[in-house]
Every structure is written in structure tokens, then in C-alpha cells.
A and B are shown apart, each in its own frame.
Chain A
Amino acid sequence: MNSELLQALRLADPRLSRFDPLRRIIAFDDFDRGFCGWTQLVGNYEHTLDAMLPGYAQHTQAMLSTLPTWDFGSHGSVDGSYALKLASRPRKGAQNVTLKRLTFRERGPIRVEFYFTFKPEASEMKLSETDVRSIGFLYDLQGGDQDEGAAADRVMPHLRFLNALDGEHLQKWQFKRRTKTFHPIGTENKTVSHYHLSPDDWEDLPGGQQRLCYNEIPTKVNWHYACLDFDLATMQATAFRVNDRRFDMSGFEPIRIPAMRNLWCMLNLCFFVETDVDKRAFLFLDSVCLSGEF
């Protein structure tokens, strides 16, 4: 099928016409159809759950939500009733993560597109625009079992929108190229763990300031579009768009760590949320489209 026909077919499909997928759609997850394979990120453990690092132990299951509000009822999603909702606990700095676990077929360009919004729990009748610390997403990738040297590395490109920190409204995109110390888990020398979502080591994406539409009370939301292009051949980000903005990714670097023994061809996609106050922070995903050029 030629690309013009493919493009025309997708533009004629109301479900896909608000995305710009690459040639092959790997996953098209509209949460009006259910959870679509999005689960919670459980930390590594062995023999006992007590071995799990605290950053992971706090994670809970994402939920299907109509974005219900106490003052005007269900908000609904972009084109239906349900969105995937990720909620932090009500403790400053608390985080939560949801993810989809895949492997890749081809080491070439991939694209993730998603419609998202975020809000704190509306437990106070004030704007609360600095209550959500950050929302973000990452890939967790590793080369194939026949790759050698750096080509086999585990690579973890992270991006977050730092909305606020300690009450300051910062509104900027950041990335991370360093991770924390690896901790051995258990006694059998088979599992390690590292909390790559720690608050440390985030760096500003050059030109990454962005004022997103937040609306005017703590319950109204507006949906945003985001798109990241990443090349699995070079393990480099090539483009990043959010709404009307296109960001220069030449200064972006992913986390790179040596290959691990059981993660060949891994393609995990994660979303996370973090609260800046003792109040729950919510990330909502209307839909996620992951595509590849193969």
C-alpha cells in the first residue's frame, strides 16, 4: 500500500485522524476500550516483597476514569467517557507509574503519540496549579541478544514536564541521562533494582519552557497532544512535539546502562505522575498510539 493511500485511510478514520502514526501501528490504545495492556510498575523483589525499593513500593494500579468532579460531575475524555487515570498518594513527592511491556521487531524509528492532561485532587476550592510536581514518560529499551557492545545497552529515554517544585510554577520539559545506584535484590545474584525516577539528575531540555493550558479552577481540564520520535537503531530521540510546539532534541540524552541478562529487545513505555504537596496528583491519558517505520 502506498503511503498516500495509507494516509488517506487513516485521515478518514475518526479514531486515527488525530494521530500521525508511522507506517505500522504497534499499539493503538483508546481507554474507552478498557485498560489496553496498561498495568502498574511493580518493583523487583526476591523471596520477600520487603526487598522492593521504596520508590516502587508506593506504586498502585491505574484506573479507568470519567474524570469525575465534585462540582460538575464526569468530565469525560477526548471522544468518549473513559481515560486512564494514574494517581499518586497524598504525600509530597509521591509518584506513581503505569506501563506497557512489549518487545521490538525492528531497530528503526518509533513514534509515541498521546493525549494527556493532569490535575491535583480537588480537595481545596482554589486554583492549585502548583500542586502537581511533574508528569512524564519514558521508554525502557534494550538491544537484541545478538547485538554487541554499546548496541546491546539498556537505554532509558526520560522526559518530564516539571510543572512546579516547592510551590514554584516552573512549567518546563526536562530529561535525565543519569540514574541511581543499582541495588542487589535478594540473595541469588539474579536481580538488581535502581530507582530511575528519583527526583535527582533531571536536566532542562534546551528551549523546553512551555505554558500548558491548565484552565481556571481545579476541576476543569483541557487535553494536550504530545509526540516523541525515537530511533531504535541509534537509540536517539529525533523529534518532540507538544501541542503547537516543536522542541530541539539535539541536546537530549537518554540514560544508558550496560545490558542486563533478561531484557533483550525490551520495549517498555511508562507514564508517571508526581505530587508537590500532600495531595494526590492525577495524570489522565485519553489515548496512546505507538507506531514504527517498518
Chain B
Amino acid sequence: MIRENLTAVVARNERWSGVSGTEPYEAGWATEAVIFVRALAIERGPDAAADVLPPTARVQVSADGMRWIDEGTVFPMPQSTEHDTCARIARFGNWLRVVTELPTGVAMKVLVTLHLK
């Protein structure tokens, strides 16, 4: 049988601000995942600091889909709507999610996809 291969859109046009992340996703059948994050829109409010550091995203894993710990992979969040970012991971067990913390005054509409095989 041909190998399973899935593109899963796990966040579509979701407006993220502050601590945000994707819904828990089970992918125990897969041995590897590539995670893409695309910014569909970036909002900077008047209270956003001009010299704010680029935020990063963290991959998290879980034993039960409810209690989460950092997997160790950290990658940039997109800095514009033109430049997507990605991370490649393996040996993640079953549960996966991506979390980030956007700086005060900054919000993003994101498209997050998992590419699993």
C-alpha cells in the first residue's frame, strides 16, 4: 500500500494575539512532520513597540493531548505576509501543536499546515 501523506490545515485565518496556538492534532501514524506557518495579515497597534523582537514559534508534544511540553524545536514566526516559515520534526509520538507568544500590540491572522508522512 502506498505511504500515507497528509496536508492538514490546523489553523486557517485564525487571529492570534498574545499566547496562541493550534488545536491539538494526533499524528501518531506519521514518522515526520513539516510545519508551515503563513501570515495572512499582520496587525500592529499603536501600543506595539517599534523595536520588538521577532517572535518565535515552539513545537509542543503531549502524552494525552491536554498537558503539553516543549518538543525543543523553535522557529521564527513570519515577519511579513510574503515570507512563510517552517520547521521539520520527527519522533514526536502522537500529539502535536504549535504555540507562540505575540508581543503586545501585535496580532496575526495565520494559516498553519502540518505535512505528515
Contact = CB atoms under 8 A, between A and B. Distances in A.
Contacts of B29: 64, 82
Interface size class of B (residues with CB under 8 A): 20 to 34
Interface string A238-254: 00000000000000000
Contacts of B11: 60
Given A35-B4, A70-B64, A123-B66, A61 B40 contact: no
A46 interface: no
Interface string B41-80: 0000000000000000000000111100000000000000
A89 B21 CA distance: 12
A33 B3 CA distance: 10
Contacts of B34: none
A49 to B, nearest CB: 4
A87 interface: yes
Interface of B: 1, 4, 6, 8-13, 23-29, 40, 63-66, 94, 109
A217 B3 CA distance: 36
B66 A70 contact: yes
B64 A68 contact: yes
A66 interface: yes
A69 B109 CA distance: 32
A68 B65 contact: yes
Interface in A33-57: 33-35, 40, 42, 49-50, 52, 57
A63 B66 contact: no
A40 B4 contact: no
A121 B65 contact: yes
Given A49-B12, A52-B13, A66-B94, 5 more contacts: A40-B9, A60-B9, A68-B64, A87-B23, A121-B66
20 contacts: A35-B6, A49-B13, A50-B13, A52-B13, A57-B13, A61-B9, A61-B25, A63-B8, A63-B26, A63-B27, A64-B26, A64-B28, A64-B29, A68-B65, A70-B64, A85-B26, A89-B23, A121-B66, A122-B66, A280-B24
Given A60-B23, A63-B27, A68-B64, A33 B6 contact: no
A130 interface: no
Nearest to B96: A63
B78 to A, nearest CB: 16
A49 B10 CA distance: 15
Nearest to A52: B13
B4 A34 contact: yes
Nearest to A56: B12
Nearest to A66: B28
